[in-house]
Amino acid sequence: MTPKTTSPRQNPGDELPVAGLLALAMTGFICIMTETLPAGLLPQIGTGLHISPALAGQIVTAYALGSLSAAIPLTLATQRWRRRKVLLLAIVGFVVFNSITALSTHYGPALIARYGAGAAAGLAWALLAGYARRMVTRTQQGRALAIAMVGTPIALSLGVPAGTWLGAAVGWRLAFWIMSALTLLLIVWVLVKMPDFPGAAHHERLPFRHVLGTPGVRSVLGVVIAWMLAHNILYTYIVPFVTPAGLAGEADGVLLLFGVAALAGIWLTSRTVDHALRFSILVSLAVFAAVAGVFTIGSASPTVIIIGVAIWGLTFGGAATLLQTALADAAGDGADIALSMNVVAWNSAIAGGGLLGGALLDTWGAVSFPWAVLGLLAIGFLIAWKARSHGFRPGHRLGHGG
């Protein structure tokens, strides 16, 4: 089976619908910003809600739980809805729940609102890749997805610094109001620039187990978990990791470097995703593993850290595009459901990276991070290497049957 790519652009030579794809990128940007914004505002939020910093930190956890628990059920429940209606539902969710967070004077409503915002994000992430693919011809899908994913590294590199700056400049409540205002602008953008597509007809609805059992789907999800676990061990604990190199005070700059390199990685991926998807994933995993190997012996050197972070960012930038393309190709008509599984796998890896990294830090210190990353990447590389028949097939992806 192959994913449906009905498009208002009938000529394969037409230019990409950049305005619409950037609306999807903005949706991803708001998802990440809404998730990471509180991390730079926890002291102010704790004071405003009269709670401890530890309790304030749980509003980040509530968002992740919302994404994890709601992505698959909401995607299944909205299979038959028109696609723009589903996208607008998710975006309106951000307006509503970020506004409730800004208005909250007690911990309970704020926690519930953050869970709701996470649920909106879970639905949005499950939709974005499939939506981008349907807006273009099949030959344009790789480049379209690269554009639709460009908001993610920008938000990852700016989310926490922007939250810290906004909290100091205007207060945490106004920071959430600003996010709501940006989201209102996005709603107008979607209504004006985004094409609409029908949902699945009743006879086209695929059960969850059928999609999960499709050859290649579990292999791609396995790589997602291994790769993102490795990434999040380092990314979550970047401050203790760079401290031996004397860069603890420069952590924001290190993350900015990572974000810039990730943007370059997205551009590179847009050039390779269609004709060398398998090669791109294997090279990304291998190069990241090589960086981890260098980190095992050179993590006390600022130069090693800076160069290593830049290369790491370069390999990570295209991860979402590569993995979601592989997953959607493998799932065929079940792409939206498979991509909702990707949301769960991705967010589980974020949470797992935090837990595993914390355990490693407490037991052996930050020096153990590169070794764990190396092991996880080896597992991911092995899964991708073995998934030659399904999941990560060699050659041009458009030359493969369903």
Q: For 162-202, what is each residue's pLDDT tens digit?
A: 777 877 788 899 999 999 999 999 999 999 999 999 987 76
Whole-model pTM: value is 0.85
Flag whether pLDDT at 2 surpasses 70.
Answer: no
On the 0-12 / 13-18 / 19+ scale of CB atoms within 10 A, 370 is buried
What is residue 273's DSSP assignment?
T
| Range with lowest mean pLDDT among 115-124, 207-216, 293-302 | 207-216
Count Cα neighbours of 391 within 13 Å in the Cβ-side half-sphere.
Answer: 24
Flag whether pLDDT at 4 surpasses 60.
Answer: no
What is residue 74's DSSP assignment?
H
Q: Determine the topology of domain 208-399 in CATH.
A: Growth Hormone; Chain: A; (1.20.1250)
Residue 39 φ/ψ, nearest 5 degrees: -60, -35
Residue type, 241: F
The CA distances from residue 370 to 31, 251, 294, 305, 321, in Å, are 29, 18, 8, 12, 25
Task: Give ranges for CATH 1.20.1250.20 in the chain.
Answer: 18-204, 208-399
Asked if residues 328 and 338 have their Cβ atoms less than 8 Å apart, the reply is: yes
Considering the domain 18-204, what is its CATH architecture? Answer: Up-down Bundle (1.20)
Q: And the tokens for 234?
A: 């380092």
User: In this predicted model, which residue has the larger pLDDT, 216 or 52?
Assistant: 216
pLDDT of residue 101: 95
pLDDT of residue 354: 84
> pLDDT tens-digit profile of 320-349?
999 999 999 999 888 889 999 999 999 899
